[in-house]
Amino acid sequence: MYSFSANTSLSYNDAINAVTEALKEQGFGILTEIDVKAVLKKKLEIDKRPYIILGACNPVLANQALDAEPDIGLLLPCNVVVREEENGSVTVAFMDPSAVLGLVDNPDVVKLAAEVRERLEKVRGSL
């Protein structure tokens, strides 16, 4: 698997705020926000349910990863998806850094990936 997730009873906007705050508590900031619903509407005239991709980054850990493997930026940041399901519930899904960064044959990166995953699991647990 390349992800893990949590369902929440929060509204879509409240889930975005909650996950952003929980990420902040774990040392992550949001580098990018891609409103997939808005992009698909604008570019393709397709109506979709709310769906956002948050590009989360912990600068300290990212720096360590870049020092260990200069091309690791190709696999960063850690993406977090917040999406509204058909039934109105909200899912928050996290890229599994252990799966993605495991592509790199470097024990230092694997160790960092485990730490990032642990922090992201704490975020999931807070939802």
Please report, as a single letter, which amino acid is at residue 34.
I
Give this prediction's pTM: 0.94
Residue 92's domain is classified under what CATH number?
3.30.310.70
Going by pLDDT thresholds of 50, 70 and 90, the confidence category of residue 102 is confident
Q: Domain range holding 122? A: 3-126
Buried b vs exposed e over 35-65: b needs ≥16 C-beta within 10 Å? eebeeeeeeeeeeeebbbbbbbbbeebbebb
pLDDT tens digits for 12-68?
999 999 999 999 999 999 999 999 999 999 999 999 999 999 999 999 999 999 999
Cα–Cα distance between 116 and 22 in angstroms, integer? Answer: 14
| pLDDT at residue 5, as a whole number | 98
User: What are the tokens at 40?
Assistant: 């698909």
Number of domains in the chain: 1
Average pLDDT score over the chain: 96
